[in-house]
Amino acid sequence: MPDGILLLIPVLLLILAAEFVNGWTDAPNAIATVVSTRVLSPSRAVIMAAVLNIVGALVTGTAVAATIGKGIVRPEVIDQHVVAAAMLTIIIWSTVAWFYGIPTSESHELIAGLTGAGLAAAGPSVLLWEGWQKVLIGLGISTFLGFSLGVGVMTGIYWLFRRTRLSLIRRLFSRLQILSAAFMAFSHGSNDGQKFMGVFALTLMLGGVMTQFTVPIWVMLLCGGVMAIGTAVGGWRIIHTMGFKLTKLEPVNGFAAETSGGVAILLASAFGIPLSTTHCINASIMGVGATRRFSAVRWGVAGNIVMTWILTFPVCGVLGYFFAWLFGIIF
């Protein structure tokens, strides 16, 4: 068996391991609110999220996957060691955050890990500014737009239903939140679901299995299935933090947060912008909670989440650089 294929197999397994961890820490974003409001049981929510994540990735194109796979670092000057270093970075950082129940952004871990590993392998010329522009735009969309939409949608609902009995609002939005959760899961697949598919396809190209960058359907199904298993196995820690600790959520609040987050994510996906779905839904939940009263959001919990977001880029960049340097010596 050629050396390239021998190396390809463990790197692909590392990608699937990172996708599994993504199911622990990032994929639960899509169903955290619908589980916390008890509109759906965890098992039903996981099944719905798994199916609609795959559907979202299948029907919305592969623009985000292409940005990750060939828009962040130059694929022609890196090798499989760079991808392996980035995946190992994600696995370590996400597992630590998951242990403490803190939702992390696998998107930013992936981008930072690839960047650090690419710099170790080929220097600053490996970076592609066009892809990084999309990353910076995604930061704005996920945080500011997510929060603003959360405030706007929740305020609009308050105004529209200001004379409606509370019991009727609860019954109505208990049903509507199933639709908003499905929309959020679909949107999650359209953006976050594509990222590891993009890395998987990039690795197949680096290993000589494919001559050009494409994302086959079997890659989409494999990555989506592994992510769903990860969510089912370990997603409850993140669901608990987002759905119970950040602010108190009723079905109407969950509907507003999921709708706001889903709209922001789909907007980014349409332009091939990789954003943090973690940032997006958390910002939307904060915006929804703040409309009730500012103190309704537990800002101490929010601060821990934001601090993890801030640390993700430098920590994962350094880890990616170190592992790529180490693999360069070993291999």
Say if CB 12 and CB 194 are below 8 A apart: no
Q: Per the domain annotation, does 278 fall within a domain?
A: yes
Q: Per the domain annotation, does 331 fall within a domain?
A: no
- Asked whether the predicted pLDDT for residue 102 surpasses 80, the reply is no
Q: Per the domain annotation, does 53 fall within a domain?
A: yes
Q: Per the domain annotation, does 206 fall within a domain?
A: yes
Q: Per the domain annotation, does 330 fall within a domain?
A: no
Q: Which domain does 257 fall in, by range?
A: 3-324
Say if CB 286 and CB 247 are below 8 A apart: yes
Q: Using CA of residue 54, residue 141, residue 32, residue 18, what is the dihedral sign? A: positive
Could you please report the per-residue DSSP string of 290-304?
A: HHH-GGGS-HHHHHH
Residue whose structure tokens are 């959020």: 184
Cα separation, 70 vs 199, whole angstroms: 9
Rounded to the nearest angstrom, the gap between the alpha carbon of residue 70 and the centroid of all alpha carbons in its chain is 18
Coil/strand/helix, residue 78: coil
Q: Per the domain annotation, does 329 fall within a domain?
A: no
Q: How many domains in the chain? A: 1
Show the tokens assigned to 79.
């090798």
Cα separation, 109 vs 88, whole angstroms: 10
Cα separation, 145 vs 220, whole angstroms: 28
Identify the pLDDT of residue 305: 73
Count of all residues that appear for the chain in the document: 331
pLDDT digit string (tens) for 109-138? 888 999 999 999 889 988 888 888 888 888
**DSSP 8-state symbol, 81:** H
Q: Using CA of residue 98, residue 100, residue 104, residue 110, what is the dihedral sign? A: negative
pLDDT digit string (tens) for 72-92? 888 888 889 999 999 999 999
Split at pLDDT 50, 70, 90, the class of 21 is: confident
pTM above 0.85, yes or no: no
Task: Report angle CA 277, 141, 42 to the nearest 5 degrees.
Answer: 20
Q: Per the domain annotation, does 242 fall within a domain?
A: yes
Question: What value does the mean pLDDT take over residues 8-27?
Answer: 87
Q: Per the domain annotation, does 82 fall within a domain?
A: yes
pLDDT digit string (tens) for 208-241? 888 888 888 899 889 888 887 887 776 666 666 6
Identify the pLDDT of residue 3: 52
